[in-house]
A and B are shown apart, each in its own frame.
Chain A
Amino acid sequence: MGRYEFIPGVAIADLAFEVHAESLNELFSLSAQALFDAMVELQDVRPEHEVRISLTAEKLDNLLFDWLAELVYQKDLDAQLFSRFEVSIDENRNCKLEATVRGEPIDPARHQLKTDVKAITYHMFKLEKKENGYYARVVLDT
C-alpha cells in the first residue's frame, strides 16, 4: 500500500509532500489526494460529480506535473474539489494518462477548507522508479 505525507523542512512559504507507491497509477492517484488534502478535509468531499481528464506528455515526470496542474485548473474553473481519483497511465512512447476524478462544488458550510493551492512548482520536483515501486516529491505554491 502506498502513502503520502507532508514534509515540513522543504519549502518554508509553501507546502511540500512526498509519495511512495507500488504502481504508477497509485502514485498519480495519491499525489492528487495529497494535493486536495492540502486544501480541504478530504472525507467531507462527496464524489458526486465526475470529470474525465486525458493528458499526454513527453516524460513521466512532466505528466505528473501536468496532471496536478490540470487538477488545480479544474478546481478554479468550476470552484470544485475532488476526493476520488481513478488513474490509468500508459508509459509507452508519449506518456499518456486517462483519469476519472470525482468531487463536488465547494461548500464552505460543509467543507473544512485549508489553504488554496495556486500552482505546482518544479522546485525539488522529483519522480523516481524505486526497487519496490515509485517515489515522488512535489512542492505546491500556496
Chain B
Amino acid sequence: MKMKISEVEPGVWEIPPTEKPGMRVPARIIATKELINTMDEGVFNQVTNVACLPGIVKYALCMPDGHWGYGFPIGGVAAFDLKEGVISPGGIGFDINCGMRLVRTNLVLQQVEPILEKLMDTLFELVPAGVGCKGLLKLNKKEFAEVVEEGIPWALRRGYGWPEDVNFIEQGGGLPGANPEKVSEKALSRGMEQLGTLGSGNHYLEVQVVKEENVFDWETAKKFGIDRPNQIVVMIHCGSRGFGHQVATDYLRVFEKAMPKYGITVIDRELGCAPFSSPEGKDYHAAMLCAANAAFVNRQMIIHRIREGFEKVFKKSAWELGMHTVYDVAHNIAKVEEYETNGHPKRLLVHRKGATRSFGPGDPELCPVYREIGQPVIVGGSMETGSYLLVGTKKAHEMTFGSTLHGSGRTMSRTQAKKKIHGRQLQEDMRKRGILVKTVSYTGLAEEAGLAYKDIAAVVDAVHQIGISRKVVRLKPIGNIKG
C-alpha cells in the first residue's frame, strides 16, 4: 500500500496518522529526497506500525539509514510515556546494546602499513569471531550474573582496560537497574562463555586511517583525540551475543502471553510489548539492562585484547601507543531520558533500534572532556566504504529524542548479496584496494559486501544537513576482521 508522505520541513518526511487505522501519532522519516525515494516500503509500513503503539509520544521516527527489520524498522526511534506507554523487545532488537567502540592510537599509516598483515593476523588470533565462538574467560553463572549487574566497573576491577575508559562509555557502561534475577538461567548459561567475542553477521573489528581530506572539523576531531593526518584508529561493532538474544527471545514470549491482560493488540507479533509500568515491563527492562551491561563488557574485553595485540606487534605498551577510548555507544537499547513535551520537561522511555544517542553540548550526561562539544557519534559503514565519527547536537534533543543514525543501512538482502558476489573474490578485490580482510566465513563476507549497503556519505549528509549530528571525520578501512 502506497502511503501519503510529505516533506514537512527540509529533510523531514511525515506520514500522517490518517494513513493507517490505529496510528496514534504521525510517523517521521529523516532523509533527503534521494534517500526517501529509494527507501524500501517495509520502512513505511513498520514505522507506521510503531506509531500505533500505546503511549507513544509526538511521533515514531526513522533515521536515513533506515531499512526493513522486524517489529521496528532498523533506524527506528520512539519515545513512550512512562505511565501509559510500553516497552517492546521489537523496538530494541535481539542483539541488545549492539553498538560501536572507537579507540585511537598515536600511530600513523606509514608505521602500520608495512606490518599490517602481521597486525591483522595477531588480532584475528586474539579476538574470537564467527558462529559459536567462545571467549577466553571461564565464568560460572553466579560470576556472570555479577558481570551483567555491574557492567564496566567489573571489567576494570579485573584489569580488563584502563580506569579512564569508564569516562568514555555511554553512561559509564554500568546501567543502574540491571537485575540478574529477572534473567533466565538459559540466558545466563548461553552467555557466560562468550565475553570478548565478536560474533557474526555484520559485526567486525576494523583498523582505519584518518586521511587529511576526510577531516571535516579539525577542532572537534582534536577534542576527540584525532589530531594528525594518517592517524590510525580501531573500531569495533558487536553486542551482547547469545545472552542478549536469549533475554529478548524469553521476553517476547512473556509479552505475547501478557498482552491480552493489558488489552494490548499489535499489528505485528514482533511488536509484542507490555506497559513499562507493569510487572512484565519492569522485569524485561531490568533484564534488558543486564544485557546492555554485558555488551559494554563484551566490547571492553575485545578492546583489551586489541590493545594486547598492538603491544605484541609494535613492542610498545598500549599506553605508549596512545590507545585511548574515543567513545563507546549503544545503538540497540531503550533508556529513560528527559525531553520537553507540551512545554514541560518529561521523562520518557526512548527506544533506539539501530539508532545512536546524539547528545549535544552542555548535556550533563557527558563526561567533562566532551561536555562543551557534544557526544561522539560513531557510525559504522560497510567494510568497503568506511565509517564516520560525528558529534551530537542540541537539535537532536529537540527533533529526534537525542538520536541520529547508526550505520549505512542495507539495501540488499543477504541472500541477494551472496548471489551477486563471492566472498573469496571480494576479499581479493579489497586487498587490491588496500583493505586487508580476514574472515571465518566467505559466505558471511559476501553478505557484507559494500554493494549491499546504502551510500554512507549520503545517509551521513542527511543527518548533517538537518543538524541532528555534525560530520567530524570520515574513517577509511585498511584492515578488517569480519565476524
The listed residue (B71, B268, B414) touching A15 by CB distance below 8 A is B414
Question: Residue-by-residue, is B132-143 near A (CB-CB < 8 Å gives 1, otherwise 0)?
Answer: 111000000000
The listed residue (A14, A77, A80, A141) touching B245 by CB distance below 8 A is A141
B167 at the interface (CB under 8 A from A): no
Given contacts A9-B413, A12-B42, contact A115 B441 (CB under 8 A): yes
Question: Judging by beta carbons under 8 Å apart, are A142 and B67 in contact?
Answer: no
Question: Judging by beta carbons under 8 Å apart, are B201 and A115 in contact?
Answer: yes
Complex contacts, A11 vs chain B, CB 8 Å: 68-70, 413
Q: Which of A1-25 contact B (CB under 8 A)?
A: 6-15
Complex contacts, A76 vs chain B, CB 8 Å: 132, 190, 194, 241-242
Complex contacts, A120 vs chain B, CB 8 Å: 249
Question: Judging by beta carbons under 8 Å apart, are B269 and A125 in contact?
Answer: yes
A99 at the interface (CB under 8 A from B): no
| Closest-CB distance, A121 to chain B (whole angstroms) | 4
> Interface residues of A toward B: which range?
35 or more
Question: Residue-by-residue, is B229-262 near A (CB-CB < 8 Å gives 1, otherwise 0)?
Answer: 0000000000001100110110011001000000
The listed residue (A15, A80, A119, A125) touching B415 by CB distance below 8 A is A15
Q: Which of B40-71 contact A (CB under 8 A)?
A: 40, 42, 67-71
A91 at the interface (CB under 8 A from B): no
| Closest-CB distance, B23 to chain A (whole angstroms) | 20
Question: Judging by beta carbons under 8 Å apart, are A122 and B444 in contact?
Answer: no
Complex contacts, A142 vs chain B, CB 8 Å: 200-201, 414
Comparing A26-34, A46-54, A106-114, A129-137, the segment that makes contact with chain B is: A106-114
**In the complex the two chains form, what is the Cα distance from A8 to B94 in whole Å?**
21
Question: Judging by beta carbons under 8 Å apart, are A119 and B413 in contact?
Answer: no
B199 at the interface (CB under 8 A from A): yes
Complex contacts, B200 vs chain A, CB 8 Å: 113, 115-116, 142
B131 at the interface (CB under 8 A from A): yes
**In the complex the two chains form, what is the Cα distance from A13 to B132 in whole Å?**
20
Complex contacts, A65 vs chain B, CB 8 Å: 253
Residue picked from A69, A112, A119, A120, most chain B C-beta under 10 Å: A119
Complex contacts, A121 vs chain B, CB 8 Å: 70-71, 94, 270
Complex contacts, B242 vs chain A, CB 8 Å: 73, 76, 118
**In the complex the two chains form, what is the Cα distance from A108 to B272 in whole Å?**
37
Complex contacts, B442 vs chain A, CB 8 Å: 112
Question: Judging by beta carbons under 8 Å apart, are B201 and A8 in contact?
Answer: no
**In the complex the two chains form, what is the Cα distance from A121 to B127 in whole Å?**
28
Given contacts A75-B132, A120-B249, A142-B200, contact A12 B410 (CB under 8 A): yes
Question: Judging by beta carbons under 8 Å apart, are A114 and B190 in contact?
Answer: no
Question: Judging by beta carbons under 8 Å apart, are A81 and B268 in contact?
Answer: no
Question: Judging by beta carbons under 8 Å apart, are A118 and B443 in contact?
Answer: no
Q: Which of B172-206 contact A (CB under 8 A)?
A: 186, 189-190, 194, 199-202
Given contacts A79-B134, A115-B201, A118-B201, contact A12 B68 (CB under 8 A): yes
> Interface residues of B toward A: which range?
35 or more
The listed residue (B69, B71, B245) touching A118 by CB distance below 8 A is B245
Q: Which of A62-117 contact B (CB under 8 A)?
A: 62, 65-66, 69, 72-73, 75-77, 79-81, 106, 108, 112-116
**In the complex the two chains form, what is the Cα distance from A40 to B200 in whole Å?**
12
Complex contacts, B95 vs chain A, CB 8 Å: 118, 141
Residue picked from A39, A76, A77, A120, most chain B C-beta under 10 Å: A76
Complex contacts, A7 vs chain B, CB 8 Å: 415
B277 at the interface (CB under 8 A from A): no
Question: Judging by beta carbons under 8 Å apart, are B416 and A8 in contact?
Answer: yes
**In the complex the two chains form, what is the Cα distance from A28 to B328 in whole Å?**
41
A42 at the interface (CB under 8 A from B): no
Residue of B at shortest CB range from A66?
Answer: B253
Question: Judging by beta carbons under 8 Å apart, are A39 and B131 in contact?
Answer: yes
Complex contacts, A14 vs chain B, CB 8 Å: 69-70, 414
**In the complex the two chains form, what is the Cα distance from A10 to B45 in whole Å?**
13
| Closest-CB distance, A74 to chain B (whole angstroms) | 9
Question: Judging by beta carbons under 8 Å apart, are B131 and A118 in contact?
Answer: no
| Closest-CB distance, A9 to chain B (whole angstroms) | 7
Complex contacts, A69 vs chain B, CB 8 Å: 249
**In the complex the two chains form, what is the Cα distance from A119 to B332 in whole Å?**
15
In addition to A62-B256, A113-B130, 4 A-B residue pairs with Cβ atoms within 8 Å of each other are A12-B68, A121-B270, A141-B70, A142-B414
Q: Which residues of B contact A (CB under 8 A)?
A: 40, 42, 67-71, 74, 90, 93-95, 130-134, 186, 189-190, 194, 199-202, 241-242, 245-246, 248-249, 252-253, 256, 268-270, 272, 410-416, 419, 440-444, 447, 483
Supply 27 A–B pairs (Cβ within 8 Å), ascending by A.
A12-B69, A12-B410, A14-B69, A15-B414, A39-B131, A62-B253, A73-B246, A76-B132, A76-B190, A77-B189, A81-B132, A106-B132, A112-B441, A112-B443, A113-B131, A113-B441, A115-B201, A115-B441, A116-B483, A118-B95, A118-B242, A119-B248, A121-B71, A122-B70, A141-B94, A142-B200, A142-B414
Q: Which residues of A contact B (CB under 8 A)?
A: 6-15, 39-40, 62, 65-66, 69, 72-73, 75-77, 79-81, 106, 108, 112-116, 118-123, 125, 139, 141-142
* 4 nearest A-B pairs in the assembled complex, by CB-CB distance: A123-B70, A116-B200, A122-B269, A8-B415
